[in-house]
């Protein structure tokens, strides 16, 4: 695990960025400004601007004021509202999943980093948790990407929402634009998805390289190179191998690592039946 431990600072940086992405995911879920509607009726909506979020709709009004606000009216969505678009329902569910899965990714990464910095070198306590944390981060990033891109598509195509009269909202705006929640969600996707995809590739390469090196070291410890060479070529350099001992050992090691010789005993097998082409 030396190679993986040597990249612990990169893992720590990825953990910090993942935590920032998880925080941004949580912030975007709570922001009301997913869609900014511009309306022409300023009798109720005094500012002419309404904010449509994934949990509620709000606007400035001097006629209707919600409890706890001075000049703002907010109406929360209900799970029984049939007029709510599918992209808003999807955002509600997927962002909750992303928040929970991202928290699991943080926990797995913290455990792996704790083992690294405390000197625990057992491979089953480091690499698998880095891999699991990376998968959780990527899954959380996908859960954020879907509602963000879907709602952004609805905004760019100026899609309407048939609000009931109790919301005091028109069914369609004069114009609309993406609110602050969408760019915040995009940054969260970058931190959760792209960065941790690169981190996952790095951990996977290091892990499989260490496994390959472990097989090679096991072969060296059980079968000295000279003995492997003698078993293969019977001491005759012009036999079936026709190559020098180091090269012969590399060929046998390659076949062992690739799994072709798994049926042979590991301790000094008889390689006289092998044919090298």
The structural domains of the chain, with segments of one domain joined by +, span 2-207, 223-277
Confidence class of residue 2 from pLDDT cuts 50, 70 and 90?
Answer: very low
Structure-token pair, residue 86: 């599918």
| 98 vs 276, more confident | 98
Q: Which of 7-16, 43-52, 190-199, 251-260 has the lowest mean pLDDT?
A: 251-260
Number of continuous H segments (helices) and E segments (strands) in the chain: 8, 5
Considering the domain 2-207, what is its CATH architecture? Up-down Bundle (1.20)
Range with the largest mean pLDDT of 5-9, 45-49, 220-224: 45-49
pLDDT at 27: 95
pLDDT tens digits for 101-144?
999 999 988 888 888 778 776 666 677 888 888 889 999 999 99
Please give the C-alpha separations between residue 151 and each of 87, 157, 179, 248, in angstroms, as whole numbers.
6, 10, 10, 61
How far is 168 from 118, CA to CA, in rounded Å?
Answer: 59
Work out the number of other CB atoms within 10 angstroms of the CB of residue 252. Answer: 24
- pLDDT of 1 > 60? The answer is no
Confidence class of residue 51 from pLDDT cuts 50, 70 and 90?
Answer: very high
How far is 222 from 24, CA to CA, in rounded Å?
Answer: 53
């Amino acid at each position: 695990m030396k190679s993986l431990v040597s990249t612990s600072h990169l893992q720590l940086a990825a953990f910090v960025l993942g935590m920032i992405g998880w925080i941004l995911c949580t912030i975007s879920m709570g922001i009301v400004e997913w869609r900014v509607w511009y309306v022409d009726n300023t009798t109720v909506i005094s500012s002419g601007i309404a904010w449509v979020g994934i949990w509620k709709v709000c606007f400035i009004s001097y006629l209707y004021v919600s409890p706890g606000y001075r000049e703002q009216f907010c109406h929360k969505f209900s799970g029984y509202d049939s007029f709510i678009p599918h992209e808003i329902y999807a955002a509600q569910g997927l962002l909750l999943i992303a928040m929970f899965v991202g928290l699991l990714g943080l926990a797995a990464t913290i455990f792996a980093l704790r083992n690294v910095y405390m000197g625990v070198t057992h491979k089953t306590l480091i690499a698998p948790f880095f891999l699991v944390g990376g998968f959780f981060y990527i899954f959380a990033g996908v859960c954020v990407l879907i509602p963000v891109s879907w709602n952004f598509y609805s905004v760019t195509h100026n899609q309407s929402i048939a609000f009931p009269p109790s919301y005091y909202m028109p069914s369609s705006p004069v114009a609309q634009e993406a609110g602050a929640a969408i760019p915040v969600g995009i940054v969260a996707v970058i931190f959760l998805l792209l960065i941790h995809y690169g981190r996952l590739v790095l951990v996977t390469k290091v892990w499989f390289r260490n496994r390959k090196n472990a097989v090679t070291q096991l072969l060296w410890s059980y079968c000295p190179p000279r003995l492997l060479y003698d078993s293969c070529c019977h001491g005759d350099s012009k036999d079936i191998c026709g190559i020098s001992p180091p090269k012969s050992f590399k060929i046998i090691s390659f076949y062992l690592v690739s799994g072709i010789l798994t049926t042979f005993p590991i301790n000094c097998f008889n390689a006289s039946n092998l044919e090298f082409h």
